[in-house]
Amino acid sequence: MRRISLRSIRLALCALAALLLLACLQVVFSGSLPSMPRSTPGGWPAFGGQRSEAENVLTRIPTGSEIGTPKGVNNDDNNYKYQTEAKLRQLTACMARGDCHPNAENVVIFATTHCFWAVFNNYVGGEGVWCNGMIDSLERQGYTVLVGKDDWSYVAHIYRQIPDMVKVIIGDDRPGSRFGRPHDYFRSEKRPDGIPTWKYFRFYYFSTPTGTVISNYWCVSAEIEWRTVGMPNYRNGTYLGYALEPPEETHTVPWAQRPNRAYILGKRVQYFYKWRDEPLIPADYITRAYHEMRKEIPDFEFVGGFIDDRTPKEKEELGEWKVPEGVRQLGKMNPTEFDDAVANSKAMVGIGWPATSPSPYRAIARGVPFLNPHTMHPHSKNEKPETWAFVQHDSIRYEAPPRVYQVEANNYDSFITALRAAMTTPSEPYIIPRLKREALDERMRNFVHHDWRSEAQRILTNRKNGKESEVGLGLGMFEM
Ligand SMILES: *[C@@H]1O[C@H](CO)[C@@H](O)[C@H](O)[C@H]1NC(C)=O
C-alpha cells in the first residue's frame, strides 16, 4: 500500500513538471520575450532581460566539456543527442523571435567518432584538431553544427526533421560499425525520407582522398593533396583542413634566444625502432648526430616527450625500448607545454612517424624548421619531390629551407647536413597561407553553400549515359 502511494506521488510530480515545461515552451514561442537580444561572438543570440530557470534549461546549449564523459563518470554516452536537441530548441527559439544569425539555418552534421571524441572527450590527436578547427570555423560564422557521433540512425532521424536545413553531413563509413553505415540511410525510392547521397561527405584525414559512390570530390580531408590539378593521379578530393592560431595568439621565441636543441616529433618511443613500421631516421643516427653536433655546438641536445604504450606482450617479446642516447626525455606534455617546448627549439626532427600530423605546422609557425624525411623508389631523384615514395609530411614535400628541410630516409649524410643547417640558420615564424583562419573560413563557407545537388546530378546523368567524369574507387549508380 505504502509503495503504491509513493508511486502515485511521483507520478503527480512528473505530471506537474511536464505541465511546467509546456508552460515555458509557450513563453518561448509566444514572442513575449524582450526583443532584439545581443549577439554573442558564437553567433547565438544572448537573451536580454529576465529569464526563467526553465527557459534557461530549454535553450541553453550544454558544451562538450560540461557534459563529456571522462573516464570513471557514469553518465550515459548519449551526450551528443543531449547537445543536439538543445541546439535545435535554441534554433527554434531564435527563429520564433526572428533574430537568428543569418547562417544559423544552415546546418552541418558531423557523424564521426573522432569529432565526437574531440567535442566530448577533449581528444586532441590530429583528427581532433581537424574536427575542432572545422567546428570552430563554422560556429564563428554562425552556422549550426550538430554532432551525431557515427550514429547513422540518429543522424537520419535528425535529418528527417529538418531536411532542407541540413546542407552537408560529414561522416565515417566503416564496415562493421555498430551503428551501421551511411548508405543504410540514403534516400531511395523505398526510403524517400532518407539522407540524399549527395549530402554525405566522407571524413578522411590524409591527403589521399577516397570518396563516396559519387566521386572523390565527396571526400573531405584535413590535408591538401600534394599533387595539383592536371598532374597524373590527382585525386580531386575536397580539402577543408584546419587553421592555426593567428600570429598574435602564437607564442614564439626569437631565434637567438632559443636553446640549442632539436625537438624530435612523435609521442612514442616505438617510433625510434622497428615497430609497426621501420623508422626513417634510425635510433643510432640520432646518437651519432648528437655526438657530432656537440663538437660544433657544445650544448646541443635532442629533446622530446615519449611514452612506451606497447602491449604487455610486445614489451615481453621485444624487451625494454628506451629513447636513444642523446635525447632528453621531457615526458608527457599537454598541448601548451608541447607548443612551448617546440618554440624553445631550433629544429623539429621527423623520424618517420607520425605521418602528417599538425605538429610540423605548429613548429613552422614558431619559426622552427621541420626536417621532413622521405623514402625513395629506385627511380626517385632527391631534387624531384614528385618522384619520392613515402614522405612523413606529404603535403609539404615542396617546401624549402629555412622552413622545411627535406631529408632522405636512412641516409646519415642527408640527415646531419639538414640538422646542421637548421641549427645554424635563423628562421622566422611563418603561417602557411592555407592554414590561416580566414582561408579556413572561406573554404568552410564555400563547402556549405556549394551546389552539391547540381554537381551530383550532372555526374549521375553522365554516368547513366556511359560517360565517367570522376576519380574514385567505388564509383557507381546512386539515387538523387
Ligand atoms: C573535381 O570534381 C568536381 C566534381 O565532379 C568537378 O566539378 C571539378 O571540375 C573537378 N576538378 C578537377 C580539377 O578535376
Query: Is 325 within 8 Å of 346 (Cβ atoms)?
Result: no
- Within-domain flag for 425: yes
The mean pLDDT value for 144-156 works out to: 96
Do residues 227 and 100 share a domain?
A: yes
Separation of CA 455 and ligand 1 centre (Å):
9
Mean pLDDT of 348-356: 96
Asked, for residue 181, whether it belongs to a domain, the answer is yes
> 383 near 343, Cβ under 8 Å?
no
* Residue 217 shares a structural domain with residue 267: no
Write the residue with the smallest CA distance to atom 9 of ligand 1: 236
Q: Distance, CA 235 to ligand 1 centroid (Å)?
A: 10
Evaluate whether residue 94 is within a structural domain. yes
Supply the CATH number for residue 384's domain.
3.40.50.2000
Q: Is the pLDDT of residue 37 over 80?
A: no
Structure confidence at residue 9 as a pLDDT band (50, 70, 90):
low
Output the CA 354–ligand 1 centroid distance in Å.
Answer: 30
Q: Does residue 23 register a pLDDT over 50?
A: no
Model confidence band, residue 53 (pLDDT cutoffs 50, 70, 90): confident
Query: Does residue 18 fall inside a structural domain?
Result: no
Residue in 218, 236, 446 to alter for ligand 1 test, most ligand atoms within 8 A of Cβ = 236
Do 259 and 198 share a structural domain?
A: no
CA 373 to CA 377: how far, in whole Å? Answer: 14
Q: How would residue 62 be classed by pLDDT, with cut points 50, 70 and 90?
A: confident
Residues 454 and 323 in one domain: no
Do residues 238 and 270 both lie within one domain? Answer: no
pLDDT at 174 over 70: yes
Are 315 and 405 members of one domain? yes
Same domain? For 171 and 238 the reply is yes
- Domain with 372 in it: 247-432
Residue whose CA is closest, atom 14 of ligand 1? 236
Give the distance (Å) from ligand 1 centre to CA of residue 208.
16
Residue nearest to atom 13 of ligand 1 (CA): 229
- Whether 417 and 458 share a structural domain: no
Give the pLDDT of residue 451: 98
Q: Which of 411, 432, 453 is the last residue of a domain?
A: 432
In this model, does residue 43 exceed pLDDT 60?
Answer: no
Mean pLDDT of 109-127: 93
* Reported pTM: 0.86
Report residues whose beta carbon is within 6 angstroms of any ligand 1 atom.
Answer: 215, 217, 229, 236, 455, 459, 469-470
**393, 417, 432 - which closes a domain:** 432
Q: What is the pLDDT of residue 58?
A: 81
320-335 tens-digit pLDDT? 999 999 999 999 999 9
Note whether residue 46 is domain-resident.
yes
Residue 220 has a pLDDT of: 98
Q: Does a structural domain hold residue 11? A: no
Same domain, 193 and 111: yes
Which residue's C-alpha comes closest to atom 5 of ligand 1?
A: 470
- Do 48 and 197 share a structural domain? yes
Q: How far is the CA of 217 from the centre of ligand 1 (A)?
A: 7
309 falls within a domain: yes
Q: Are residues 215 and 326 in the same domain?
A: no
Closest-CA residue, ligand 1 atom 7, reads 455
59 assigned to some structural domain: yes
Query: Do 120 and 45 share a structural domain?
Result: yes
**DSSP strands (E only) in 4-121:** 107-111
- Ligand 1 centroid vs 23 CA: distance in angstroms? 52
Domain count, the chain: 2
Which residue's CA lies nearest to atom 8 of ligand 1? 236
For position 73, what pLDDT does the model report? 63
Q: Cα(170) to centroid of ligand 1, in Å?
A: 19
